Amino acid sequence: MSKLNHFSVYGVEEGGLNGVRLESVSIVGDPETIREIGAFLIKAAEEMAENGLEHLHLQDVVEGFDYEKNVDFIALNGFVVDF
């Protein structure tokens, strides 16, 4: 893997309203689900680069997204938003 540019990760506690900066992230899921999340992030990066989109939600692209069983990923374009 090549060197990464600066990035940050934020999260909201279940039932919470405010985001907090996270030091690490653990994704618990089967290999196919983790692969699909990776594919979402790649597609989001492509959309941001090509169209200058501010953000994309995983919940908006997953058919039948289950809000009780799943966690939304929000990819934010660091060239557009300031965190």
**Alpha carbon distances (Å) from 5 to 8, 10, 25:** 10, 17, 17
**d(C-alpha 34, C-alpha 27), whole Å:** 8
Q: Work out how many domains the chain is built from and give that number.
A: 1
Look at residue 83 and tell me whether its pLDDT is greater than 80: no
20-75: pLDDT as tens digits: 999 999 999 999 999 999 999 999 999 999 999 999 999 999 999 999 999 999 99
12-34: pLDDT as tens digits: 988 898 999 999 999 999 999 99
16 falls within a domain? no
76 falls within a domain? yes
Which domain range does residue 59 map to?
A: 29-83
**d(C-alpha 56, C-alpha 83), whole Å:** 16
Which pLDDT score is estimated for 21?
A: 94
40 falls within a domain? yes
Tokens of 41: 């992030």
